[in-house]
Amino acid sequence: AAGKVAARGAFVLFEGADRCGKSTQAMRLVHTLEARGVEAELWRYPDRATAMGKMIDQYLRSKSEMEDGAIHLLFAANRWEKKALMERKLASGVTLVCDRYSYSGCAFTAAKGVDGLDLEWCRAPEVGLPRPDALMYLELSLEDAAKRGGFGEERYETTEMQRAVKASFEAMREDWWDVIDANREPDVIQDEVLRIALSAVEKCRAGRELKRLWQ
């Protein structure tokens, strides 16, 4: 109706190491939500479609080299350039299901173990971005991840790096995260994922405010 303010959408995030199944779960969740009449969109970071995203893509495919600090800031800037759109979508009632975000940003850079680029440094450029209403961290042991077949060709897709990434995610873990055992059938995981997402959607409809990282 005219003048009616739409209830805001929820910002639902999936995080985890490579091959934990988060892209599959995120995609399925969008379809399930839509089927239930919840307007939802799939987002992912990095967004390789923007000018900055293209630089990130080149870096990940080892077509270019960059200083570790510079690529970290570029990943963060790739979120900042989409912040206004993200906020507009949420405010208009769209639920955003996101595949990776600032937590991956920090976990991957910190995992490099570069002097000076610790978690605190990594978080700084992310402070002030929208904070997810739900964060589902898909947890898979390195052994179970290895059973899922070979890595891709991109930078960071090595056993050594993934081990360090897992350690940084664990160091960052906060009480409000939902930790999901990813070593189960996709359907079973989706049931849990849907429950968590619907609960976030409900809270946002009821007026839950959008918070900011890391405040």
- Site residues (CB under 6 A) for ligand TMP? 18, 45-46, 60, 75, 100, 104-105, 108, 156
> Do 196 and 11 contact (CB within 8 A), yes or no?
no
**H/E run at residue 180:** strand 178-181
| Nearest to ligand TMP of 48, 203 (CB atom) | 48
Burial of 143 (0-12, 13-18, 19+ CB in 10 A): exposed
Q: How far is the CB of 37 from ligand TMP (least distance, A)?
A: 29
Q: How far is the CB of 143 from ligand TMP (least distance, A)?
A: 20
> Do 92 and 6 contact (CB within 8 A), yes or no?
yes
| Nearest to ligand TMP of 134, 204 (CB atom) | 134
Q: How far is the CB of 60 from ligand TMP (least distance, A)?
A: 5
Give the length of the chain.
215
Q: How many angstroms separate the CA atoms of 114 and 168, rounded?
A: 13
| Nearest to ligand TMP of 48, 208 (CB atom) | 48
Tokens representing residue 169 in the block = 């995610």
Q: How far is the CB of 72 from ligand TMP (least distance, A)?
A: 7
Q: Does residue 156 come out as left (phi exceeding 0), alpha (psi in the -120 to 50 range) or beta?
A: left
Q: How many angstroms separate the CA atoms of 70 and 47, rounded?
A: 17
Q: Which residue lies nearest ligand TMP, judged by its C-beta? A: 105
Q: How many angstroms separate the CA atoms of 45 and 24, rounded?
A: 15
Q: How far is the CB of 98 from ligand TMP (least distance, A)?
A: 10
| Nearest to ligand TMP of 137, 156 (CB atom) | 156
Q: How far is the CB of 202 from ligand TMP (least distance, A)?
A: 27
Report the first-to-last Cα separation within the chain, whole angstroms.
Answer: 35
